[in-house]
A and B are shown apart, each in its own frame.
Chain A
């Protein structure tokens, strides 16, 4: 064998060996990943589900054992019935707040994002600064209550909806602005030449084209507003006004000795995000990273 042949042979054995090593390592890291993610992220879910299915006595042990008898449906009934069906009222409130916030955000945010992307003027840096400020600055709590109280919206549903809209607007506008940049300006020109008015141009041509980003806004706002605890706590207090997050929080002291019911409540409250996640997994991840990676 010539030297080159030896070298080639050595090279090939080296390659197959490394390839073998690579597949073994890949398999190993794959197994490790699953085990680790199961322990760190799976165990808490398992813990909640198992304990939500136990009776009060068993759940007070707070362990991971399977329930000796299955009580999940009874527990759900007890949670639903607690305080005259408070959770149903809370569910209704949460859905209303989330739904209206989404509707207003899409309309108002799309209009603003559209004009801010298309029109550049001396004012542009100022508007950009306002958006950035809205993303960073923590909202002033009591002065907001003072404003809401002044216009008669404190402790009302329109009040909390408008606050949610105001706080989510900067990110929404940013998303719309980013997406608008991908729509060519020639489109607007053609529409205007065809005699389309400025208002009709937006509502019948632009807005339908913004569908993909509107879907992102829907999913992100749904998750954000539905899970929001702080704003309803401050701006939507009162017994009748409960939202799902507030109810869970208030129940925690009530269920001090009935942990199975607390776990059932946690489980119930986590189902809507789970459903959203199953159907819109990609959309959520893309939307959340879109605003961040820029």
Chain B
């Protein structure tokens, strides 16, 4: 009789995926460590040690990306978690129009980042933009959202949240829906109010969903590039430059070694923050 063994599932089936993944993802990643230490023109290279990294970390126009990337990731991630949780609680109620509202919140996730960035850049125009003309009606002088170096990064981050909060919301809805009814019944017997329901049941028990949102939003924030590029191109000055946009600028300028050093730095930042965060969040998870 034929028996199912490991041999029934040949590892040859992994070959096509493995080859594509290795050639177009792993190999470049491994090579980036070498090329980041060179002066490089694609055809020719010269080994220069850690010079690219030193330039990247000391040049003010380059290391600002470091700070901006962290701020951007923290701001977008925390807003997505908070707003996503509130929207998730709200949209897991049994309301008549729930389908419509959910679709409305989720749809921006599917739109092109470039299109969203451009539309919002228009709405954030300092004098004619929709946002500031509306604020004017209520008597508030709106700021120059994308032109003021102190708030430009936050303005872009807000658009990122607008586009991405739908994703966070549906993850939270899935988490909240999976909480067994018994908990709410027990709370009702103990005479808890809706704040207790939120704080003592929903928040701790939607923990797995929250962890997913945190991880996804945080990594997404660290790697972010296209929205910033569509809205400000890193300006004014270098105030909205992220590591990823600096990588692009250096690539455009023909500084391939420097650009690759940026890549390696981004790799280190993402791994240094994401893997421990992942381990930490998984440890704190509670069982349902």
Contact = CB atoms under 8 A, between A and B. Distances in A.
A11 interface: no
A118 B24 CA distance: 26
Nearest to A117: B9
A288 B170 contact: yes
A143 to B, nearest CB: 4
A64 B108 CA distance: 20
Contacts of A202: 13
**Chain B contact residues, majority secondary structure:** helix
Q: Which of B130, B213, B244, B275 is most buried by chain A, counting CB atoms within 10 A of its CB?
A: B130
Contact of B4 (A109, A138, A192): A192
Interface stretch (B55-63, B73-81, B92-100, B179-187): B92-100
Interface of B: 1-4, 6, 8-11, 13-14, 16-18, 20-21, 23-29, 31-32, 35, 40, 42, 90-91, 93, 95-97, 100-101, 103-115, 118-120, 122-123, 125, 128-130, 133, 162, 167, 170-171, 174-175, 208-209, 212-213, 216, 219, 222-223, 225-226, 229-230, 244, 247-248, 251, 256, 259-260, 263-264, 266-267, 270-271, 274-275
A167 B223 CA distance: 14
A270 B17 contact: no
Given A151-B23, A277-B107, A288-B170, 12 more contacts: A37-B104, A62-B122, A140-B267, A141-B259, A141-B260, A166-B23, A169-B21, A192-B2, A198-B8, A277-B103, A285-B106, A292-B209
B27 A62 contact: no
Nearest to A62: B128
A56 interface: no
B28 A139 contact: yes
A111 B174 CA distance: 29
B78 to A, nearest CB: 18
A14 to B, nearest CB: 13
A48 B122 CA distance: 10
Interface string A39-68: 011111001100100000000011110000
Contacts of B103: 277, 281
15 contacts: A43-B130, A47-B122, A48-B119, A104-B20, A108-B17, A112-B16, A142-B251, A142-B256, A146-B35, A147-B24, A162-B24, A167-B25, A189-B4, A244-B112, A288-B109
Contacts of B175: 293
**Chain A contact residues, majority secondary structure:** helix
A134 interface: yes
A289 B270 CA distance: 22
Nearest to A289: B174
CB-based closest 5 A-B pairs: A166-B24, A140-B32, A143-B28, A112-B17, A119-B9
A221 B251 CA distance: 27
A93 interface: no
A262 B9 contact: no
A34 B111 contact: no
Interface in A142-191: 142-149, 151, 162-163, 165-167, 169-170, 173, 185, 188-189
B79 to A, nearest CB: 13
A110 to B, nearest CB: 9
Contacts of A44: 119-120, 123, 162
Give the contact-size bracket for chain A.
35 or more
A189 B5 CA distance: 10
A227 B107 CA distance: 13
B251 A234 contact: yes
Contacts of B16: 107-108, 111-112
A197 B103 CA distance: 46
Contacts of A112: 13-14, 16-18
B29 A137 contact: yes
A173 B17 CA distance: 9
B29 A145 contact: no
Q: Which of A134, A229, A292 is most buried by chain B, counting CB atoms within 10 A of its CB?
A: A292
Contacts of A281: 103
B147 to A, nearest CB: 15
B271 A33 contact: no
B11 A41 contact: no
Given A147-B28, A166-B21, A273 B122 contact: no
Contacts of A229: 112-114, 226, 229-230
B107 A41 contact: yes
Interface string A184-210: 010011001100001001100000000
A188 B130 CA distance: 60
Given A140-B260, A289-B170, A29 B95 contact: yes
Interface stretch (A1-9, A79-87, A245-253): A245-253
Contact of B115 (A38, A173, A269, A292): A269
Interface in A17-34: 26, 29-30, 33-34
A254 interface: no
A271 B26 CA distance: 35
B30 to A, nearest CB: 8
B226 to A, nearest CB: 5
